[in-house]
Structure 1
Amino acid sequence: MAIYSGEQATKEYLLEVTKGCAVAAAKAPTLTNSLGLRTEIVTGDDLNPIIDVLETFGQTSTFQMHDAVALKSMAEKGVLPPILLMGADLCKPVLWDCGACGFPTCGEYIKFVSRNKGLGIGAYGPSCVWKVIDFGMAADYACAAAAMHRVEARLFFSIGAVSMFLGHLEGSSFVLGLPVGPVGLNNWFDRESWVNAFNYQQRTMGQLAGGPNLSMAFSGGGYPVIKTKPNWWENPTFLKVEEDEAFVQKDAEGKAKVFEKIMRYRGAISEDE
């Protein structure tokens, strides 16, 4: 007989659940039978580069800063969960000539991709639609496996993109990250860490700027109103469309810092350079 620390036991259990999520993702039904899913589980200090790059991205991107703050807070509390990375090469078509991607044939699609495969905000493309559907089912199965064990989990585009940039799951054009845990309720939705990291005004503006369409009044009049306060119709705040050269410059400089940091982590640049 033995007495186990509940805290330690739950940490060990979360890793086992994460392994189960990887199994579930691999077992997910597919339409193409050629997804080529890749998975990897990252834990502990090996998550530090991901958090560091996310935080650097966050200097000009609110949602990535929010994710970095949450992960850092969990690390400081000693409850940083294991993260399941799932990736695949979604650019490789299944050769059905279906036209769903917008090209008349897979041959035309392949010609375009071979010359123009580009990086968007966090994934390579264009992608084969059928592969995207298959990848979505794999991700759903992983989440369902966590739910069956009463473990909170949430898919993160940001974690997946940064992981891919750092060299995880080589050969993938798209990666998602799935933190499995920590133990608790609504850790990834309530985000208590935001309260300490951002004041009320910053949190409010972060939500408004991150999803302005969710706070808009009727926009048909041509001057869309943003509901920035309870009595939003009094002294209303209007949404404007304008260029912002200062932010464009700041964003470019921020991305340069991000990619320099990525190159250092990947060993392409030495610490002396």
Structure 2
Amino acid sequence: MAILELTKAEKEKILVDIARLAAAAGEGAQRICGGPSNIKSVILTGEDIANIRDAILPLCGDDGRLNMYMYGDWKGLDEVIKNDEPMAILVMGTDATRSHLGWNCGACGFATCGEFNKHAREVREGPTRGRGTAQGGPCCMWLLQDFGIAVVTAAAAVYEMGVPTRIHTSFGSMAVACGYLDGCMQALGISVGPWRLGTWDEWYNRPTMKGTFSLEDIYGDLWRCFPTHFAGFNGRGRPLTKTDPAWQAKGIYCAHVYDEEYENKRKAAGAKFAEVTAQIRQKVQERRQQGGK
């Protein structure tokens, strides 16, 4: 009997096969709405993972401070690519902006599915095309729940095969922006690997981020993102803000302000992101026209 040693290519093929099985599990999962599946799946490896990495960075800024959380995903992918490690990304997408149900449940905010579809079509055809920061809308809540069921089922399938995994909003959004899932308004990415010891820490504790930001950076970012977690009792309508252990004596309150410096950085990042993703979309389209996978 032959003794087989797993090469990088063989490891990558195994991860791709696991991603295929996970896609089958996700697309075949039990759904609330029934009917044909409107979920699309793509598996990214090699150059295409590098494209996702390159698309993420402009939104974070070179130092990561524009989006410290997405920067963690960028840095994780960057380490994988630099170390030439086997990995796959399963991206699943859908379009929950078109409802065929006729249930008229009102969960979307409209009295009937017909009213929702009319509004959603106007948004899709408008200047924003319904794209938010990460996902698109407005959405039928039932179709969106079906999509969530499919994605978590796929991620669970990867986990059951003993491979580290996590669901990433960033990977899904970048895949749509780069042209891998045209026709999808919502998308989520599922990391399959990388193939290495201690990968659980890579996507959860993220040791690659150690030393990137100071404690003050992290605390300040959390405070800005989740002010209600740091608010005192709001019985008088203006709760004190818990900036540090002595918060009760300091009398610091939240306020809405226009941050011109941050807005200028954010707009410049958006312009750079549009430039980078347009270049990637062009490459992806050219490969498809040439019959490349």
TM-score range, shorter chain: 0.7 to 0.9
| 2:161 pairs with 1:154 | no
Report what 1:138 is aligned to.
Answer: 150
Report what 1:54 is aligned to.
Answer: 56
Question: In structure 1, what is the Cα distance between the partners aligned to 2:74 and 2:86?
Answer: 12
Residue type of the alignment partner of 1:21 = A
Q: Structure 1, residues 134-171: CA drift from partner, whole Å, max 9, x if none?
A: 10110111111012112221111111111101111111
Report what 1:13 is aligned to.
Answer: 14
Q: Compute the TM-score of the two structures, normalised by the length of structure 1.
A: 0.86
Which segments of structure 1 move beyond 6 Å, counting only runs of 4 or more?
A: 230-237
Give secondary structure in 1 for the equivalent of 2:162: coil
- Residues 84, 179 of structure 1: 8 Å contact kept: yes
Residue type of the alignment partner of 2:56 = L
Q: Structure 1, residues 32-73: CA drift from partner, whole Å, max 9, x if none?
A: 224411000001121112111101111232222221112112
- Residues 194, 203 of structure 1: 8 Å contact kept: no
Report what 1:271 is aligned to.
Answer: none
How far does residue 7 in structure 1 lie from its aligned partner after superposition? Answer: 6.8
Report what 1:87 is aligned to.
Answer: 93
How far does residue 192 in structure 1 lie from its aligned partner after superposition? Answer: 0.6
Question: In structure 1, what is the Cα distance between the partners aligned to 2:162 and 2:7?
Answer: 16
Question: In structure 1, what is the Cα distance between the partners aligned to 2:137 and 2:226?
Answer: 24
Alignment of 1:20-59 (within 5 A): 20-32=21-33, 33-59=35-61
Residue identity over aligned pairs, in percent, reads 26
Give secondary structure in 2 for the equivalent of 1:24: helix
- Partner of residue 69 from structure 2, selected from 48, 63, 77: 63
Alignment of 1:186-265 (within 5 A): 186-220=201-235, 222-228=238-244, 239-265=254-280
- Partner of residue 112 from structure 2, selected from 105, 113, 118: 105
Question: In structure 2, what is the Cα distance between the partners aligned to 1:226 and 1:6?
Answer: 53
Give secondary structure in 2 for the equivalent of 1:127: coil
Query: Please, which moves more after superposition, 213-222 or 40-49?
Result: 213-222
Question: In structure 2, what is the Cα distance between the partners aligned to 1:178 and 1:12?
Answer: 16
Give secondary structure in 1 for the equivalent of 2:193: coil
How far does residue 215 in structure 1 lie from its aligned partner after superposition? Answer: 4.5
Unaligned runs of 5+ in 2: 125-129, 284-293
Query: Please, which moves more after superposition, 172-181 or 15-24?
Result: 15-24
Evaluate the alpha carbon distance shift between residue 267 and residue 24 of structure 1 in structure 2; reply closer, same or farther with a 3 A threshold.
same
Question: In structure 2, what is the Cα distance between the partners aligned to 1:206 and 1:8?
Answer: 40
How far does residue 84 in structure 1 lie from its aligned partner after superposition? Answer: 0.2
Give secondary structure in 1 for the equivalent of 2:5: coil
How far does residue 201 in structure 1 lie from its aligned partner after superposition? Answer: 3.6
Unaligned runs of 5+ in 1: 269-273
RMSD: 2.6
Question: In structure 1, what is the Cα distance between the partners aligned to 2:158 and 2:243?
Answer: 36
How far does residue 218 in structure 1 lie from its aligned partner after superposition? Answer: 4.2
Residue type of the alignment partner of 1:93 = S
- Residues 27, 37 of structure 2: 8 Å contact kept: no
- Residues 102, 114 of structure 2: 8 Å contact kept: no
Residue type of the alignment partner of 1:89 = D
Query: Please, which moves more after superposition, 114-123 or 213-222?
Result: 213-222
Evaluate the alpha carbon distance shift between residue 2 and residue 217 of structure 1 in structure 2; reply closer, same or farther with a 3 A threshold.
farther
Give secondary structure in 2 for the equivalent of 1:90: coil
Report what 2:84 is aligned to.
Answer: 78
Give secondary structure in 1 for the equivalent of 2:166: coil
How far does residue 74 in structure 1 lie from its aligned partner after superposition? Answer: 2.0
Question: In structure 2, what is the Cα distance between the partners aligned to 1:90 and 1:141?
Answer: 18
Give secondary structure in 2 for the equivalent of 1:86: strand
Q: Structure 1, residues 167-199: CA drift from partner, whole Å, max 9, x if none?
A: 111111111111112243332111011115334
Give secondary structure in 1 for the equivalent of 2:270: helix
How far does residue 11 in structure 1 lie from its aligned partner after superposition? Answer: 4.2
Question: In structure 2, what is the Cα distance between the partners aligned to 1:151 and 1:27?
Answer: 20
Give secondary structure in 2 for the equivalent of 1:83: strand
| 2:114 pairs with 1:114 | no
- Residues 167, 188 of structure 2: 8 Å contact kept: yes
Q: Structure 1, residues 203-259: CA drift from partner, whole Å, max 9, x if none?
A: 44344444344444545562432355x676686875443221222222112111111
